[in-house]
């Protein structure tokens, strides 16, 4: 059962992306500061990573392009379960959106928690459109600057969201 978290201890900047589940929090980060080494539509390609994509990243995880401020869902992961070669070969994830267009863009991959969510801190007010952790679609209008919203949110949509500087708090 979900509960309000009024004394969070972790924070993560949220990139509003339509229907993309929020990360499970800062502790759910699968990658460290990594960058794409090749560009192909709807893919994340990194041949310098030591992350075994095929064993720790799963379909449904969230990918943030930290350089461009975009997000996508992992929809395809290599199924090869062999150990990483040394040096590692190129690994490719198939994504729901085409969010990488320039070699060197930084990314982070986060696991998600179904039915989980975060309370929100809003730096610059406006509207926030999204989905509660319980699955209800909601649009919060006229959210003031510097607001703490004690509603567990699982999705923050780009469409309909005008507030900026949104942080998820866990």
Could you tell me the CA-to-CA distances from 31 to 45, 51, 110, 132 in Å, in that order? Answer: 13, 7, 8, 26
Min mean pLDDT across 5-9, 16-20, 92-96 is at 5-9
- SS3 at position 123: strand
Question: Which one, of 130, 116, 115, lies nearest residue 10 by Cα?
Answer: 116
Q: DSSP character for 87?
A: S
Q: Which tokens in the block code for residue 113? A: 């928690």
The domain over range 31-110 is classified in CATH as 1.10.10: no
- What's the mean per-residue pLDDT of the chain? 85
Phi then psi for residue 83, to 5 deg, are -60, 155
> C-alpha 169: how far from its chain's center?
14
pTM of the model: 0.81
Can you name the residues that pair with 93 across neighbouring β-strands?
Answer: 44
Report whether pLDDT(84) > 70: no
Q: Name which of 53-67, 118-132, 156-170 the model is least confident about.
A: 53-67
Domain residue ranges in the chain = 11-24+114-169, 31-110
Task: Identify the band that residue 81 occupies on the pLDDT scale cut at 50, 70 and 90.
Answer: very low
Task: Report whether pLDDT(33) > 90.
Answer: no
Q: Is the pLDDT of residue 31 over 80?
A: no
95 pLDDT exceeds 90?
yes
Helix (H) or strand (E) run with residue 141 in it: strand 137-143
Give the CA distances from residue 87 to residues 37, 52, 57, 136, in Å, rounded to whole numbers and listed in that order: 15, 12, 20, 46
Dihedral of the alpha carbons of 21, 33, 25, 170, in degrees to the nearest 10: -130
């Amino acid at each position: 059962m979900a509960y309000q978290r009024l004394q969070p201890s972790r924070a993560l900047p949220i990139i509003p992306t339509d229907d993309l589940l929020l990360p499970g929090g800062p502790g759910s980060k699968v990658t460290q500061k990594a960058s794409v080494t090749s560009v192909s539509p709807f893919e994340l390609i990194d041949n310098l990573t030591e992350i075994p994509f095929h064993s720790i990243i799963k379909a449904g995880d969230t990918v943030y392009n930290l350089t461009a401020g975009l997000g996508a869902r992992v929809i395809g992961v290599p199924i090869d379960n062999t150990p990483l070669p040394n040096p590692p070969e190129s690994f490719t994830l198939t994504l729901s959106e085409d969010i990488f267009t320039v070699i060197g863009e930084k990314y982070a991959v986060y696991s998600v928690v179904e039915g989980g969510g975060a309370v929100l801190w809003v730096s610059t007010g406006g509207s926030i459109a999204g989905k509660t952790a319980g699955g209800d679609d909601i649009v919060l209008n006229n959210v003031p600057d510097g607001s703490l919203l004690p509603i567990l949110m699982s999705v923050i949509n780009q469409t309909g969201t005008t507030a900026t500087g949104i942080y998820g708090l866990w």
